[in-house]
Amino acid sequence: MGARVTVSLETPDALVPLFFLGLENLIRNKEAAGRPQDPDDLACLKSRH
């Protein structure tokens, strides 16, 4: 999976691209960051993986 997922949001005036990390990359980023909240976030994310 790539580093970024792209979808388009249709508004009355235009299509707006939305960019976000895929689940695997989000997990990798949280493992690397090591912030105090990350272990709890990782447990939740990995249970959905």
Q: What is the pLDDT of residues 4-48, one digit of tens each?
A: 889 999 999 999 999 999 889 999 999 999 999 999 999 999 998
Query: Tell me, what amino acid is at 7?
Result: V
Tell me which residue range forms the domain holding 33. Answer: 5-48
pTM for this model (two decimals): 0.67
23: left (phi over 0), alpha (psi -120 to 50) or beta: alpha
Q: Are 2 and 20 in contact (CB under 8 A)?
A: no
Say how many domains are in the chain: 1
Q: How confident is the model at residue 40, as a pLDDT?
A: 96
Q: How confident is the model at residue 2, as a pLDDT?
A: 57
